Chain A
Amino acid sequence: RKEVEQDPGPFNVPEGATVAFNCTYSNSASQSFFWYRQDCRKEPKLLMSVYSSGNEDGRFTAQLNRASQYISLLIRDSKLSDSATYLCVVNPSGGYNKLIFGAGTRLAVHP
Protein backbone atom coordinates (compact mmCIF):
# COMPACT_ATOMS: atom_id res chain seq x y z
CA ARG A 1 0.00 0.00 0.00
CA LYS A 2 1.31 3.46 -0.85
CA GLU A 3 2.02 5.77 2.04
CA VAL A 4 -0.07 8.55 0.53
CA GLU A 5 -2.81 7.78 -1.96
CA GLN A 6 -4.77 10.14 -4.17
CA ASP A 7 -7.24 9.81 -6.99
CA PRO A 8 -5.13 10.71 -10.06
CA GLY A 9 -8.04 12.33 -11.89
CA PRO A 10 -8.14 14.23 -14.11
CA PHE A 11 -10.97 16.32 -12.84
CA ASN A 12 -12.38 18.39 -15.68
CA VAL A 13 -14.64 21.14 -14.34
CA PRO A 14 -16.09 24.38 -15.67
CA GLU A 15 -15.15 27.73 -14.26
CA GLY A 16 -17.05 28.50 -11.09
CA ALA A 17 -17.47 24.88 -10.09
CA THR A 18 -16.67 23.47 -6.68
CA VAL A 19 -14.31 20.52 -6.68
CA ALA A 20 -13.05 18.29 -3.88
CA PHE A 21 -9.93 16.16 -3.71
CA ASN A 22 -9.34 13.34 -1.28
CA CYS A 23 -6.24 11.75 0.09
CA THR A 24 -5.52 8.91 2.49
CA TYR A 25 -2.32 8.16 4.36
CA SER A 26 -1.14 4.90 5.86
CA ASN A 27 0.96 5.99 8.84
CA SER A 28 -1.37 6.74 11.73
CA ALA A 29 1.44 8.48 13.60
CA SER A 30 1.87 11.13 10.90
CA GLN A 31 2.19 14.59 12.32
CA SER A 32 1.90 17.23 9.61
CA PHE A 33 -0.11 17.49 6.47
CA PHE A 34 -0.02 19.79 3.47
CA TRP A 35 -1.46 20.44 0.07
CA TYR A 36 0.98 21.49 -2.63
CA ARG A 37 0.26 22.62 -6.14
CA GLN A 38 2.45 21.63 -9.07
CA ASP A 39 2.16 23.16 -12.51
CA CYS A 40 3.33 21.24 -15.54
CA ARG A 41 7.12 20.82 -15.58
CA LYS A 42 7.54 23.03 -12.52
CA GLU A 43 8.44 22.51 -8.90
CA PRO A 44 5.72 22.02 -6.27
CA LYS A 45 4.57 25.06 -4.35
CA LEU A 46 2.96 25.01 -0.93
CA LEU A 47 -0.75 25.75 -1.16
CA MET A 48 -1.68 25.32 2.48
CA SER A 49 -1.02 23.34 5.61
CA VAL A 50 -3.82 21.18 6.96
CA TYR A 51 -4.81 21.47 10.61
CA SER A 52 -6.91 19.14 12.69
CA SER A 53 -9.63 21.73 13.12
CA GLY A 54 -9.80 22.37 9.39
CA ASN A 55 -8.66 25.58 7.82
CA GLU A 56 -9.63 27.91 5.04
CA ASP A 57 -7.65 30.22 2.79
CA GLY A 58 -9.86 32.17 0.46
CA ARG A 59 -11.52 29.72 -1.93
CA PHE A 60 -9.57 26.78 -0.54
CA THR A 61 -10.63 24.67 2.45
CA ALA A 62 -8.61 21.81 3.88
CA GLN A 63 -9.88 19.17 6.27
CA LEU A 64 -8.13 16.45 8.25
CA ASN A 65 -9.71 13.37 9.76
CA ARG A 66 -7.09 11.61 11.85
CA ALA A 67 -9.37 8.71 12.80
CA SER A 68 -9.93 7.87 9.14
CA GLN A 69 -6.44 9.00 8.05
CA TYR A 70 -8.06 11.13 5.44
CA ILE A 71 -7.31 14.61 4.11
CA SER A 72 -9.40 16.69 1.77
CA LEU A 73 -9.10 19.88 -0.25
CA LEU A 74 -12.13 21.82 -1.44
CA ILE A 75 -11.82 24.48 -4.11
CA ARG A 76 -14.78 26.81 -4.54
CA ASP A 77 -15.51 29.02 -7.54
CA SER A 78 -12.82 27.39 -9.67
CA LYS A 79 -10.70 29.65 -11.87
CA LEU A 80 -8.86 28.77 -15.05
CA SER A 81 -5.65 29.47 -13.15
CA ASP A 82 -6.47 26.69 -10.69
CA SER A 83 -5.61 24.13 -13.39
CA ALA A 84 -2.68 22.17 -12.00
CA THR A 85 -1.81 18.97 -10.17
CA TYR A 86 -2.59 19.00 -6.46
CA LEU A 87 -0.27 17.01 -4.26
CA CYS A 88 -1.21 15.63 -0.87
CA VAL A 89 1.87 15.65 1.33
CA VAL A 90 2.49 14.08 4.71
CA ASN A 91 5.30 14.51 7.20
CA PRO A 92 5.26 11.11 8.89
CA SER A 93 7.17 12.04 12.00
CA GLY A 94 6.87 15.76 12.38
CA GLY A 95 9.66 18.18 13.09
CA TYR A 96 12.45 18.72 10.66
CA ASN A 97 11.95 15.65 8.62
CA LYS A 98 11.14 14.29 5.22
CA LEU A 99 7.93 14.74 3.29
CA ILE A 100 6.00 11.95 1.61
CA PHE A 101 4.21 13.02 -1.56
CA GLY A 102 1.12 11.57 -3.12
CA ALA A 103 1.13 11.10 -6.87
CA GLY A 104 -1.19 14.07 -7.27
CA THR A 105 -4.64 14.78 -8.62
CA ARG A 106 -4.86 16.65 -11.88
CA LEU A 107 -7.40 19.46 -12.21
CA ALA A 108 -8.37 21.04 -15.50
CA VAL A 109 -10.71 24.03 -15.31
CA HIS A 110 -12.30 24.98 -18.62
CA PRO A 111 -14.23 28.08 -19.71
Chain B
Amino acid sequence: GAVVSQHPSWVICKSGTSVKIECRSLDFQATTMFWYRQFPKQSLMLMATSNEGSKATYEQGVEKDKFLINHASLTLSTLTVTSAHPEDSSFYICSARDAGGGETQYFGPGTRLLVL
Protein backbone atom coordinates (compact mmCIF):
# COMPACT_ATOMS: atom_id res chain seq x y z
CA GLY B 1 0.00 0.00 0.00
CA ALA B 2 0.93 3.65 -0.25
CA VAL B 3 3.50 4.72 2.33
CA VAL B 4 4.29 8.20 3.56
CA SER B 5 7.23 8.87 5.81
CA GLN B 6 8.09 11.84 7.98
CA HIS B 7 11.38 12.90 9.41
CA PRO B 8 12.18 13.50 12.15
CA SER B 9 9.64 11.59 14.22
CA TRP B 10 10.25 13.89 17.15
CA VAL B 11 12.30 16.97 17.86
CA ILE B 12 13.09 19.09 20.88
CA CYS B 13 14.47 22.53 20.26
CA LYS B 14 15.11 25.84 21.97
CA SER B 15 12.81 28.77 21.51
CA GLY B 16 13.83 30.90 18.55
CA THR B 17 15.31 28.13 16.44
CA SER B 18 13.91 26.86 13.15
CA VAL B 19 12.83 23.28 12.61
CA LYS B 20 12.43 21.52 9.27
CA ILE B 21 10.10 18.54 8.88
CA GLU B 22 10.20 16.35 5.79
CA CYS B 23 7.30 14.45 4.30
CA ARG B 24 8.00 11.83 1.64
CA SER B 25 5.77 9.61 -0.43
CA LEU B 26 7.80 6.42 -0.76
CA ASP B 27 6.06 4.41 -3.45
CA PHE B 28 3.91 6.90 -5.31
CA GLN B 29 4.04 10.41 -6.67
CA ALA B 30 2.09 13.11 -4.90
CA THR B 31 1.27 16.37 -6.65
CA THR B 32 -0.55 17.47 -3.51
CA MET B 33 0.47 17.08 0.10
CA PHE B 34 -1.29 18.43 3.14
CA TRP B 35 0.12 19.63 6.44
CA TYR B 36 -1.90 19.26 9.63
CA ARG B 37 -1.32 20.17 13.24
CA GLN B 38 -2.90 18.44 16.21
CA PHE B 39 -2.84 19.75 19.78
CA PRO B 40 -3.57 17.33 22.65
CA LYS B 41 -7.17 16.12 22.71
CA GLN B 42 -8.05 18.23 19.71
CA SER B 43 -8.79 17.44 16.09
CA LEU B 44 -6.33 17.60 13.25
CA MET B 45 -6.35 21.09 11.82
CA LEU B 46 -5.30 21.63 8.24
CA MET B 47 -2.53 24.20 8.06
CA ALA B 48 -1.80 24.29 4.36
CA THR B 49 -2.05 22.49 1.06
CA SER B 50 1.27 21.94 -0.63
CA ASN B 51 1.31 21.75 -4.42
CA GLU B 52 4.32 20.51 -6.33
CA GLY B 53 6.03 23.30 -8.19
CA SER B 54 3.81 26.10 -6.90
CA LYS B 55 3.14 28.08 -3.77
CA ALA B 56 1.33 26.47 -0.90
CA THR B 57 -2.21 27.45 -0.01
CA TYR B 58 -2.52 28.36 3.65
CA GLU B 59 -5.62 28.07 5.79
CA GLN B 60 -7.00 31.11 7.49
CA GLY B 61 -5.03 32.05 10.58
CA VAL B 62 -1.87 30.19 9.58
CA GLU B 63 1.10 32.49 9.09
CA LYS B 64 2.81 31.68 5.82
CA ASP B 65 6.01 33.45 6.87
CA LYS B 66 6.24 31.36 10.02
CA PHE B 67 5.38 28.01 8.49
CA LEU B 68 7.38 27.77 5.29
CA ILE B 69 6.35 25.02 2.90
CA ASN B 70 8.35 23.77 -0.03
CA HIS B 71 7.16 21.06 -2.40
CA ALA B 72 10.04 20.81 -4.82
CA SER B 73 9.46 17.30 -6.11
CA LEU B 74 6.63 14.84 -6.57
CA THR B 75 7.73 12.86 -3.54
CA LEU B 76 8.90 15.46 -1.04
CA SER B 77 7.34 18.36 0.83
CA THR B 78 9.00 20.19 3.70
CA LEU B 79 7.53 22.29 6.48
CA THR B 80 9.85 24.68 8.28
CA VAL B 81 8.70 26.17 11.55
CA THR B 82 10.69 29.38 11.77
CA SER B 83 11.62 30.98 15.08
CA ALA B 84 9.74 28.33 16.98
CA HIS B 85 8.12 29.19 20.29
CA PRO B 86 6.63 26.97 23.01
CA GLU B 87 3.12 27.51 21.64
CA ASP B 88 4.26 25.85 18.39
CA SER B 89 4.77 22.60 20.29
CA SER B 90 2.40 20.16 18.66
CA PHE B 91 2.01 17.00 16.58
CA TYR B 92 2.58 17.81 12.92
CA ILE B 93 1.21 15.32 10.40
CA CYS B 94 1.46 15.34 6.64
CA SER B 95 -0.65 13.48 4.13
CA ALA B 96 -0.24 12.86 0.45
CA ARG B 97 -2.59 12.07 -2.36
CA ASP B 98 -1.55 9.75 -5.16
CA ALA B 99 -1.11 11.71 -8.38
CA GLY B 100 -2.32 8.61 -10.19
CA GLY B 101 -5.82 9.26 -9.02
CA GLY B 102 -8.15 8.60 -6.14
CA GLU B 103 -9.36 10.71 -3.30
CA THR B 104 -7.61 8.86 -0.50
CA GLN B 105 -5.04 10.74 1.53
CA TYR B 106 -2.22 8.69 2.99
CA PHE B 107 -0.90 9.98 6.28
CA GLY B 108 2.64 10.10 7.53
CA PRO B 109 3.43 8.92 11.07
CA GLY B 110 3.68 12.48 12.37
CA THR B 111 6.38 14.58 13.98
CA ARG B 112 6.21 15.62 17.61
CA LEU B 113 7.72 19.04 18.18
CA LEU B 114 8.56 20.31 21.64
CA VAL B 115 9.87 23.85 21.90
CA LEU B 116 11.48 24.69 25.20
Chain A residues within CB distance 8 Å of chain B: 4, 8, 32, 41-46, 87, 91, 95-96, 98-104
Contact = CB atoms under 8 A, between A and B. Distances in A.
Contact of B108 (A8, A43, A99, A103): A43
User: Looking at chain B, what size class is its interface with the partner chain?
Assistant: 20 to 34
B26 to A, nearest CB: 14
Interface in B31-63: 32, 34, 36, 41-46, 49
A22 B108 CA distance: 26
B79 interface: no
Nearest to B106: A46
Interface of B: 32, 34, 36, 41-46, 49, 91, 93, 95, 97, 103-105, 107-110, 112
B107 A95 contact: no
B45 to A, nearest CB: 8
B107 A44 contact: yes
Contacts of B110: 41-43
B46 A99 contact: yes
Given A43-B108, A43-B110, A91-B103, A102 B43 contact: yes
A35 to B, nearest CB: 13
A72 to B, nearest CB: 18
B27 to A, nearest CB: 17
A96 B43 contact: no
A8 B43 CA distance: 10
A100 B41 CA distance: 16
Query: Most chain-B CB neighbours within 10 Å: which of A8, A42, A91, A96?
Result: A96
Contact of B107 (A4, A43, A100): A43
